[in-house]
Amino acid sequence: MQLVTLKLVTVVGEAIIMDDIAERGMKLGASGHTMTEVMGHGSRSARNVATAGGAKTIKLEFVVSERVAHDIMAFVAEQYLEHYAIIAWLSDVSVMRGEEYVRE
């Protein structure tokens, strides 16, 4: 079994902006993404009040090439880091059938 080393981009934050980030991630070259509703608390949680019926926090993940990963991180930093309750990180992952997730 061959594993390919790729980047896992994880963005956790206010539900209200996650669709936009997912959509932009796909445009920047991701071949897919996963969203999960999660619970937690952070220093900016008080800002996350905007969805009807209470706050929702979403974890959004992409498995992508390093270049796409950096593009997604740059987009998140420029558009959302300043004012929203959001955190994003990169990690190395070894992926089965990984070549399918690189569209370059």
Partner 1 sequence: MNLPSSMDFPLLAESLGNLAVLASSGDQSSRILSSLTKNLLTPIPLCFLLGIFCKVIHGGIKIPKELYYSIAIFLLMSIGFVGGHELAHEYHEHGVSTIWKPALATLVLGCITPITAYIILRYLGGLSIADSAGIAAHYGSTSAVTYAVANSFVEQAQHPANSFMPTLVTILEVPGIAIALVLGAALSARQRALQSSGTGRPARESKLGEALYEVMTGQSIMLMAGLLVIGFISTLFMDPKGFQPFYDFFQSKGMLFRGALCIFLLEMGLVAGEKLGDLLKVGPFLVAFGIIVPLLHGFLGVWLGHMAGLNLGGCTVLGAIVSSASYIAAPPAVRLTLPEANPTLSITAALAITFPFNIAFGIPIYFEMAKWVGAQ
Instruction: Give the sign of the dihedral formed by CA 4, CA 27, CA 74, CA 46.
Output: negative
Q: Which of residues 68-97 bind partner 1 (CB under 8 A)?
A: 78-80, 82-84
Q: Closest approach of Cβ 2 to partner 1, in Å?
A: 39
Residue 72: count of CB within 10 angstroms of its CB? 28
Torsion angle of alpha carbons 76, 47, 19, 102, nearest 10°? Answer: 30
Stretch that binds partner 1, among 29-37, 49-57, 60-68, 90-98 (CB under 8 A): 49-57
Contacting residues toward partner 1, per CB under 8 A: 14, 16-17, 46-47, 49-54, 78-80, 82-84
